[in-house]
């Protein structure tokens, strides 16, 4: 239940992020476009209105001068025009003379008062202005009243025509535009959310499928594999998973194999010892020679038991991080000769010839015991897995400035291609039944590889079934920490 909930939360979060992403990608530009459209509408409308009012008022200002309105504000024609203009634009017209005195206010508020606002002062000084007050919804314009023939000089300014026109219809239109924009935005949001939900669902579905497929095989994964080929990526994931599964299976099989092998290997010497001891117990009068012989056999079995346990312990110890190398300068030629000398009796017994080709004297910084163990394991294998007759093992040693190279070739039974990649795995043995007769636990090469890797070296193997095997090893002459 808890697992299910966790999974649900995980998927929901992927969906959530996809939806947020779509939302941002879709909504942000929509909002920007909407506000740009509304804004440019407002600017255009205000500009148009300003141009229209300006062209009419410039003519009006000239008329004011020509008809001497500044001295006589009762001029019917002009007042009629004021009436018309204020009605059309819903505005206010104020005429101020060059003393700053209001001589006409169509709102009849400031008549006779002095109005010396900044705009009026500026205009009297020759600078006409136009200002849009968005908050109070009006445009305010000032025009100079002056002799139309001497317009260039600000000294001639005789008065100011101050015109305010309402922009409330522009605001209303803008409001309508904004409302529509919001409606469209809301529709876009809705569409994006629905699309996002569907799309994220489609994207997440293969992940759910993969989880289901994996859960389906967690218990009995032995021969199963999963396949979710909806997308290239899911195929890659499932392929990688299947490869991992295969590896786990190999390791698992090897472990089972190991447990049975080790138990068997450890039990065999015990069983022999038990039999030997029982025979002696049942024959208390057996001659001393028989006792001695049996004791010798028991001792050999104890040695075997001991060597298996030593192998296991060697590997376990090397697994630990703290495993240290005891580095000294070692004469590799001598070392190989020693190993060959030690293995000679076994080789002779198996009818295998041992040949050493040393191309030059080599000294390297290595852990003598561990390196010796690694080479012994490989040469021992080459003897063990050889022909019943006419077998040979050829060991060659060479070096360059950085590394020394050893190859160990045999003309033995060879390793099948499908097993080549597994032989360094612990407890792996190619032919279980046969290997058991020969003896061994499948730990030799695992130990060897570990030792070589600890020395920052490399090991490769080439083999052909029925023809023979060659192991090539490369180890740095100077120890790299």
Q: Scan for tokens 């924009």, then name that residue.
A: 181
Residue 423 is a binding residue for ligand ATP (CB under 6 A) = yes
CA dihedral 201, 204, 205, 211 (to 10 degrees): -150
Which of positions 310-329 make contact with ligand ATP (CB under 6 A)?
A: 311
> What radius of gyration, in Å, describes the C-alpha atoms of the chain?
51
> Which of ligand ATP, Mg ion, none has residue 228 at its interface (CB below 5 to 8 Å by kind)?
none
Among the listed residues 469, 473, 474, 475, the single contact to ligand ATP using CB under 6 A: 469
Interacting span for ligand ATP (CB under 6 A) from 117-125, 161-169, 251-259, 427-435? 427-435
Interacting span for ligand ATP (CB under 6 A) from 4-12, 192-200, 239-247, 408-416? 408-416
Residue 448 is a binding residue for Mg ion (CB under 5 A) = no
Residue 403 is a binding residue for ligand ATP (CB under 6 A) = no
Q: Taking the complex as a whole, how short is the minimal distance between the CB of residue 430 and ligand ATP, in angstroms?
A: 3
Q: x/- contact string, 340-379, with Mg ion (CB under 5 A)?
A: ----------------------------------------
Residue 381 is a binding residue for Mg ion (CB under 5 A) = yes
CA quadruple 149, 154, 156, 162: dihedral positive or negative?
A: positive
Q: Cβ distance 39 to 126 under 8 Å?
A: no
Nearest CA to 234 out of 222, 245, 223, 242 is that of 242
Q: How far is Cα 469 from Cα 418, in angstroms, rounded to an integer?
A: 14
**Per-residue tokens: 305:** 């038991």
Among the listed residues 61, 413, 452, 475, the single contact to ligand ATP using CB under 6 A: 413
Residue 450 is a binding residue for ligand ATP (CB under 6 A) = no
Q: Taking the complex as a whole, how short is the minimal distance between the CB of residue 398 and ligand ATP, in angstroms?
A: 20
CA quadruple 192, 198, 199, 200: dihedral positive or negative?
A: positive
Hey, how many other C-beta atoms are within 10 angstroms of the C-beta on 38? 17
Q: Give Cα separations from 448 to 257, 323, 376 (angstroms).
A: 20, 15, 9
**Per-residue tokens: 212:** 């289901």
Residue 373 is a binding residue for ligand ATP (CB under 6 A) = no
Among the listed residues 430, 451, 473, 475, the single contact to ligand ATP using CB under 6 A: 430
Task: Give the ranges where 320-443 is alpha helix by DSSP (H).
Answer: 332-350, 368-384, 417-420, 432-438
Among the listed residues 159, 391, 440, 457, the single contact to ligand ATP using CB under 6 A: 440
Residue 442 is a binding residue for Mg ion (CB under 5 A) = no
Among the listed residues 78, 443, 459, 473, the single contact to ligand ATP using CB under 6 A: 443
Query: Which of 30/435 has CB closer to ligand ATP?
Result: 435
Residue 442 is a binding residue for ligand ATP (CB under 6 A) = yes
Among the listed residues 160, 373, 445, 451, the single contact to ligand ATP using CB under 6 A: 445
CA dihedral 334, 339, 340, 346 (to 10 degrees): 160
Q: What is the DSSP letter of 91?
A: -
Nearest CA to 374 out of 262, 478, 458 is that of 458
Q: Taking the complex as a whole, how short is the minimal distance between the CB of residue 402 and ligand ATP, in angstroms?
A: 27
The residues pairing with 365 across neighbouring beta strands, listed in sequence order, are 329
**Per-residue tokens: 38:** 């509304």
Residue 411 is a binding residue for ligand ATP (CB under 6 A) = no
Spatial neighbors of 203 by CB under 8 A, at least 6 apart, are 14, 18
Residue 444 is a binding residue for Mg ion (CB under 5 A) = yes
Query: Which of 33/302 has CB closer to ligand ATP?
Result: 302
Query: Which of 429/474 has CB closer to Mg ion?
Result: 429
**Per-residue tokens: 137:** 């919804």
Residue 392 is a binding residue for ligand ATP (CB under 6 A) = no
Among the listed residues 164, 381, 406, 411, the single contact to ligand ATP using CB under 6 A: 381
Q: Give Cα separations from 397 to 193, 333, 339, 347, 361 (angstroms).
A: 72, 8, 13, 20, 9
Among the listed residues 65, 385, 403, 404, the single contact to ligand ATP using CB under 6 A: 385
Q: Taking the complex as a whole, how short is the minimal distance between the CB of residue 323 and ligand ATP, in angstroms?
A: 19
Residue 457 is a binding residue for ligand ATP (CB under 6 A) = no
> Is residue 478 classed as helix, strand or coil in its secondary structure?
coil
Interacting span for ligand ATP (CB under 6 A) from 93-101, 102-110, 129-137, 436-444? 436-444
Q: How far is Cα 60 from Cα 169, in angstroms, rounded to an integer?
A: 24
From its phi and psi, is residue 466 left (phi > 0), alpha (psi between -120 and 50) or beta? left
Residue number closest to ligand ATP, CB atom: 444
Cα 18 from chain centre: 17
Residue number closest to Mg ion, CB atom: 444
Query: For binding to ligand ATP (CB under 6 A), which residues are involved?
Result: 311, 377, 381-382, 385, 410, 412-415, 423, 428-431, 435, 440-446, 469
Contact residues for Mg ion (CB under 5 A)? 381, 444
């Amino acid at each position: 239940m808890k697992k299910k909930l966790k999974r649900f939360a995980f998927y929901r979060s992927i969906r959530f992020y996809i939806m947020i992403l779509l939302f941002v990608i879709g909504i942000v530009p929509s909002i920007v476009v909407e506000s740009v459209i509304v804004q440019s509408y407002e600017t255009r409308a205000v500009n148009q209105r300003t141009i229209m009012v300006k062209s009419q008022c410039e003519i009006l200002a000239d008329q004011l001068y020509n008809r001497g309105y500044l001295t006589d504000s009762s001029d019917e024609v002009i007042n009629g025009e004021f009436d018309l203009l204020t009605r059309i634009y819903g505005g206010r017209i104020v005429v101020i003379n060059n003393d700053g005195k209001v001589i006409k206010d169509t709102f009849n508020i400031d008549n006779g008062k002095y109005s010396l606002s900044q705009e009026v002062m500026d205009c009297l000084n020759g600078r006409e202005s136009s200002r849009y007050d968005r908050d109070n919804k009006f445009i305010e314009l000032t025009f100079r009243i002056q002799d139309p023939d001497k317009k260039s000089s600000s000294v001639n300014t005789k008065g100011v025509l101050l015109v305010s026109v309402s922009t409330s219809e522009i605001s209303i239109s803008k409001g309508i535009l904004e409302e529509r924009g919001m409606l469209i935005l809301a529709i876009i949001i809705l569409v994006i959310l629905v699309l996002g939900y569907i799309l994220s669902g489609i994207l997440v579905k293969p992940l759910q499928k993969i989880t289901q497929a994996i859960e389906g095989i967690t218990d009995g994964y032995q021969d199963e594999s999963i396949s979710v080929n909806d997308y290239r990526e899911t195929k890659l994931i499932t392929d990688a998973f299947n490869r991992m599964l295969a590896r786990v299976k190999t390791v698992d099989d090897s472990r089972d194999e190991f447990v049975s092998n080790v138990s068997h290997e450890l039990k065999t010497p015990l069983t022999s010892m038990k039999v030997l001891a029982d025979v002696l117990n049942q024959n208390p009068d057996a001659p001393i020679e028989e006792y001695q012989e049996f004791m010798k056999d028991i001792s050999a079995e104890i040695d075997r038991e001991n060597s298996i346990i030593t192998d296991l312990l060697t590997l376990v110890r090397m697994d630990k991080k703290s495993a240290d190398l005891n580095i000294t300068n070692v004469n590799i030629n001598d070392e190989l000769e020693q190993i060959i000398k030690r293995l000679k009796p076994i080789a002779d017994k198996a009818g295998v010839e041992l040949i050493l080709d040393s191309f030059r004297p080599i000294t390297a910084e290595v852990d003598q015991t561990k390196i010796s163990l690694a080479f012994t394991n490989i040469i021992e294998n080459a003897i063990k897995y050889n022909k019943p007759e006419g077998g040979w093992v050829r060991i060659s040693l060479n070096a360059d400035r950085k590394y020394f190279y050893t190859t160990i070739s045999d003309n033995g039974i060879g390793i099948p291609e499908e097993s080549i990649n597994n032989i360094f795995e612990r407890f792996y043995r190619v032919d279980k039944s046969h290997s058991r007769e020969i003896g061994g636990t499948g730990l030799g090469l695992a130990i060897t590889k570990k030792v070589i890797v600890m020395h920052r070296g490399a090991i490769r193997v080439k083999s052909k079934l029925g023809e023979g095997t060659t192991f090539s090893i490369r180890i740095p002459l100077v120890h790299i920490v």
